[in-house]
Amino acid sequence: MELKHLFQASAIAAALVLAGCGGDINISEGDIDNSVTNNNGSSGDSGSGDSGDTDTAPGEVSSGLSTQVSTAFGSDVTVRVLSGRLTADDADDSGNITLTNDTVWALDGAVFFGSDNADSVNLVIEPGTTIFGRSGNDYMVVSRGSTIEANGTAAAPVILTSIEDVVGGDAQPGQWGGLVMLGNAPSNQCPDTGDCSLQIEGAEEGAVFGGTDDTESSGSISYMVIKYSGFEIAPDNELQGLTMGGVGSGTSIDHIQVHASSDDGIEFFGGSPQLKYVLITGAQDDSLDWDNGFTGKIQYAFIEHATDDSDANRGIEADNDGSDPANEPQSNPMIANMTIIGNNFDGDDDSEGVYLREGTGAQIYNMVVTGPAGMGECFEVENVTESQANLADGTITIQNSVMACRNGENFKNDDGAVDLEDWFLNTMTGNSVSEAIALNADGSPTSGSPLLGAGADASQVDGFFDATDYIGALDGTTDWREGWAFGYGGGEVTGVVETVEGCPTGTSEITSVDGTTTTCELSGRITSDLTLTEGNMYALSGAVFIGNDNADNTTLTIEDGVTLYGASGNDYLVISRGSKIDAQGTAANPITFTSQADVASDAGEPGQWGGLVMLGNAPSNQCPESGACSLQIEGAEEGAVFGGTDTADNSGTIRYVRIMYSGFEIAPDNELQGLTMGGVGSGTDISYVQIHKSSDDGVEFFGGNVDMKYVVLTDNQDDSIDWDNGFQGRMQYVLVRQATDNSDANRGIEADNDGSDPANEPQSNPTLSNVTIIGNEFDGDDDSEGVYLREGTGAQLSNFIVTGPAGMGECFEIENVNESQANLADGTTTFTNSVIACENDENFKFDDGAVDLENWFLNTMTGNAVVATQAEVVNGIYSITDAVTPKDWTGDTFFDNADFVGAVSEDNDWTAGWTVGLE
């Protein structure tokens, strides 16, 4: 794809090449469709597509709008108008309604996606897509039970804006409505009994929210810019830039900007969503507003009032319940690393900092509030009984924060109320008042700013937060706003994305692998950012490295639906330390790594290519005690090194990715796995990944702290999960199913600390929950087995199902070495809320003189059970057992509070539609 039809051409120097052209391939165990079909009509069409095509795209082509936008862009553009309610009848076979980036989309009135907890859909918005409204009555609503999947990229953010912005007119706040997300999470306005159905502010009747599912997912948003929105229906009944009612903690939102809203930037009505990298600029009312039991989490929030001193109000205006300030559940979110910069606006409402009122709580860390002399008060707590009491009992906490306003009113409190300055400086910890915090013009700290190094490590407070040591939203080194946000080099409406033939720069065209599809080759070391565009095939030639080791840092972006393949075990992909992979498929269009034989002739077998290797700067217990760490990764050529001290290192994002027919043995104990991770840190985002038919392990961790969710490991010929050398990550929802034809298999989990020194630190001790391991009857040099913990590793295991047939080997074993046995006694290894149901009379294996594992599992640990047969615990891959109660994960934001043990429930089959081999 390339960006064309450039708007405001003087500001845009060149087109951005993003994707390629098409053809079809089919894989025997899971279809991959790389065809490219343009169903959109061109400017002037009445709604049909190109001659011979069937127009299945949502909405209707508007000749008038197409002409208007085409004139502004300087070439033909199709505008499709969305209106009314789009439901399951309008979706494709996967339940998706997709807004593509080769079209501009217009809203006509209130556009609903899904009905209320019925006719649900998944709204997919492609990277680089532009959507506009023409009046305050034009807005988008994602209904309860439906989801949004709007994952832009730094190079191609999703933009929601006004028609004036699109055509180059006078863009102003309030020119269209905004985005509304509705969910089933709690609000303290819900009735005590019966169903909850609360009308959301600003939208038409029937836009309702609320319920009991605190962990519900309303989807994911990343790299989205919302501009010139907000509309007042009536006083105190307004649309914001982004409105969230009852949105649950399973919702993922990061890298989102709301710019120049005529009302609030983002408002939360109850719910518990979790956000990172939030930018709110030029909002004319409050930048962040919460009410009615909001308990979400936010990290890295940068708020700046309009730099021209025009309309503004509070950086944060926060409430619990004006009618009943003590109402439960109480608003009490957690926020870390926030910058609020006010302005000199003095109108009916002044520019102010933080106002906590109506009984809300707040847990705030690493916040700086600053502004000029004309700014209003910077911190205030309402003088009502409940709010004042919150200051005394810890319901309101502010730590390691700075008030740096130059207005003589850092704090405002009434006579008889808590002295906020004294509370801030003497009751709280790590706080200060300053007028010399040393910020650059863009709000980032200077190299000598006292904000640097003065922050608290919020990750010690809650697992959602990254470890930081600075105050404010920015660390002074890396600016997460750059390149995608409006005002920071991005966020401009530049046109549509057109599918074009050819291979992206950085690759070379080779003979088509299937005789039809353009095929592009990657080779050597790639040191410039590269996007592998949908529509082409991509061949790995030898060891392909992304970036150099902590140098020439490079991002490899892989668009949804892309297929990469290797022809031999020598073909593999390495993401070097300091570089990143951004591979975000979708359930409808997963990304596939596979073999040439599979692509060319449906003849995929284990070991036909190498695999994917990710290298990072997180710790390993093989690193030297002093000096730099540079450990050679297993299986790859010399120089593929990992290790360091950055537990929060970020190696990128992987979502909806399948890795098939990989694995290669260089020499005994030196193999490539499906997915190999060396020193990968917790800043890396990995979810919805499958490793299928690896000739060696499915996934192996060498140290590091990476977390993973929604992992499928099928038919792998050695261990499905293998960890070593200080791995301390977390995993939830992991399905291990060994080959149903009883072919090669070994352990579901084989786990080590250090064979040479089992007590070596940092000690391997990951946490895994909701894991299903289904063995088979393979009996070879290595048998099919369940879980084997050895060489001093610890493990925190819960909500497991380990099961298998009579011919399976042992289901749970701990190596009989001093360190491993001691781990069973001191809590370094725990195993709770789990069921073992193997039919082999060897649920547990332990040597004479070792800990009796059956007794330990049933009597020392809690919530466990042993049952006789596989049929009692799983139906296929689905958990059906009620023999134990799932672990309560309240307080750890990584883990969901699942209502089942094992990996997959039939009423929420997250494997459906994108995995292979589970039929």
Q: What does the pLDDT look like over 685-704, one tens digit per residue? A: 999 999 999 999 999 999 99
How far is it, in rounded angstroms, from Cα 492 to Cα 485?
8
Residue type, 298: I
For 98-120, what is the mean pLDDT?
Answer: 96
For 178-203, what is the mean pLDDT?
Answer: 96
Supply the pLDDT for residue 498: 67
What is the Cα 809 distance to its own chain's centre? 37
Which tens digit of pLDDT belongs to each residue from 283-315?
999 999 999 999 999 999 999 999 999 999 999
Supply the pLDDT for residue 236: 74
For 637-651, what is the mean pLDDT?
Answer: 96
How far is it, in rounded angstroms, from Cα 687 to Cα 652?
12
104: part of which helix (H) or strand (E)? strand 104-113
Residue 282's pLDDT band, with cuts at 50, 70 and 90, is very high
Residue 666's pLDDT band, with cuts at 50, 70 and 90, is confident
Lowest mean pLDDT among 153-157, 494-498, 601-605, 744-748: 494-498
**Residue 761: count of CB within 10 angstroms of its CB:** 10
Residue 56's pLDDT band, with cuts at 50, 70 and 90, is confident
Q: State the pairing for strand pair 563-566/631-632.
A: unpaired
Supply the pLDDT for residue 501: 65
Supply the pLDDT for residue 500: 55
Peptide bond into 504 cis (omega under 30): no
Which tens digit of pLDDT belongs to each residue from 510-519?
999 998 999 9
The secondary structure of residue 439, as a DSSP letter, is: B
For 173-192, what is the mean pLDDT?
Answer: 97
Mean pLDDT of the chain: 92
| pLDDT > 80? residue 767 | yes
Cα-based distances in Å from 566 to 515, 548, 712:
17, 21, 21
| pLDDT > 70? residue 45 | no
For 123-132, what is the mean pLDDT?
Answer: 95
| pLDDT > 50? residue 28 | no
Residue 233's pLDDT band, with cuts at 50, 70 and 90, is confident
Residue 457's pLDDT band, with cuts at 50, 70 and 90, is very high
| pLDDT > 70? residue 197 | yes
| pLDDT > 80? residue 669 | no
How far is it, in rounded angstroms, from Cα 297 to Cα 249?
9
| pLDDT > 90? residue 338 | yes
What is the Cα 515 distance to its own chain's centre? 37
Lowest mean pLDDT among 6-15, 632-641, 678-687: 6-15
Supply the pLDDT for residue 10: 29
| pLDDT > 60? residue 48 | no
Supply the pLDDT for residue 55: 76
Answering whether pTM is above 0.85, one says no
Residue in 528, 545, 534, 548 with CA at minimum distance from that of residue 610 = 545
**Local structure of 90: helix, strand or coil:** helix
Residue 38's pLDDT band, with cuts at 50, 70 and 90, is very low
